[in-house]
């Protein structure tokens, strides 16, 4: 469960399970996010509100989130995107609903099949020597009628990530691979059509809980 740290104008929350230790928080706002601090390592009032918002918006895993105390809800993301990291996870930013997990706007999801925190990445791809391109070929697709809205991500038992909603799938460089409203993404690490599922999980005996 996330732990919340309350400032005068903003509440910043941190969920350790999702953290992939990118250190963007400590690098971009060291006075607010100080792992060496006595007491709470997140102190929102040690900087301005926008610093905390910027860190939360750029936290790739979604481990850091925020809520403004004088607003009913945070603004929606206008374009839902997924970036495929070279030899690494799937990095999503959008209006995300990950099955049985707290809704968030950022997430890094395992695609190597090795994470112990599935569906989230825990960095196991580094120790496991996972290799997979982040630069898959572009596939012709029609422009989406809408680019926002909620994206639902459902890990299927012993199978892929089933995704519904408006989503632009991009290479790590930002180049568009495909626009989708429904797709299945590989999370076993064995597909020959990454980032998409090709059924390889069945042949390789991939095992993972669904939601």
Q: pTM for the whole thing? A: 0.87
Q: Cα separation of 18 and 36, whole Å?
A: 20
H or E element: which one contains 176?
Answer: strand 176-185
Q: Cα separation of 159 and 132, whole Å?
A: 18
pLDDT at 100: 66
Per-residue pLDDT tens digits of the chain, which is 211 residues long: 789 999 999 999 999 989 998 888 999 999 999 989 889 999 999 999 999 999 999 999 999 999 999 876 778 899 999 999 999 999 999 999 998 676 679 999 999 999 999 999 999 999 999 999 999 999 999 999 999 999 999 999 999 999 999 999 999 999 999 999 999 999 999 999 999 999 999 999 999 999 8
DSSP 13-53: EE-GGG-----HHHHH-TTTB-TTSSS-SB-GGGS-HHHHH
Q: Cα separation of 166 and 94, whole Å?
A: 10
What are the structural domains, with CATH classification, of the chain?
Answer: 3-68 (3.30.70.20), 81-204 (3.40.5.90)
Backbone angles phi, psi at 69, to 5 degrees: -70, -25
């Amino acid at each position: 469960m996330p732990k919340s740290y309350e400032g005068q104008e903003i509440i910043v929350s941190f969920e350790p399970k999702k953290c992939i230790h990118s250190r963007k928080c400590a690098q971009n706002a060291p006075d607010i996010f100080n792992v060496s601090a006595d007491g709470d390592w997140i102190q929102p009032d040690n900087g301005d509100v926008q610093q905390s918002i910027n860190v939360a918006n750029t936290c790739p895993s979604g481990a850091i989130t925020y809520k403004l105390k004088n607003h009913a809800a945070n603004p929606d993301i206008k374009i839902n995107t997924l970036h495929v990291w070279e030899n690494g996870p799937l990095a999503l930013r959008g209006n995300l609903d990950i099955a049985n997990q707290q809704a968030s706007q950022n997430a890094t999801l395992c695609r190597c099949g090795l994470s112990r925190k599935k569906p989230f990445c825990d960095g196991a791809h580094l120790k496991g020597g996972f290799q997979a391109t982040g630069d898959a070929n572009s596939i012709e697709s029609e422009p989406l009628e809408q680019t926002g809205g909620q994206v639902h991500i459902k890990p299927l038992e012993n199978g892929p990530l089933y995704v519904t909603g408006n989503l632009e799938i991009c290479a790590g460089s930002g180049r568009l691979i495909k626009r989708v409203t429904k797709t299945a993404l590989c999370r076993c690490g064995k597909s020959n059509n990454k980032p998409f599922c090709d059924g390889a999980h069945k042949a390789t005996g991939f095992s993972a809980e669904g939601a």
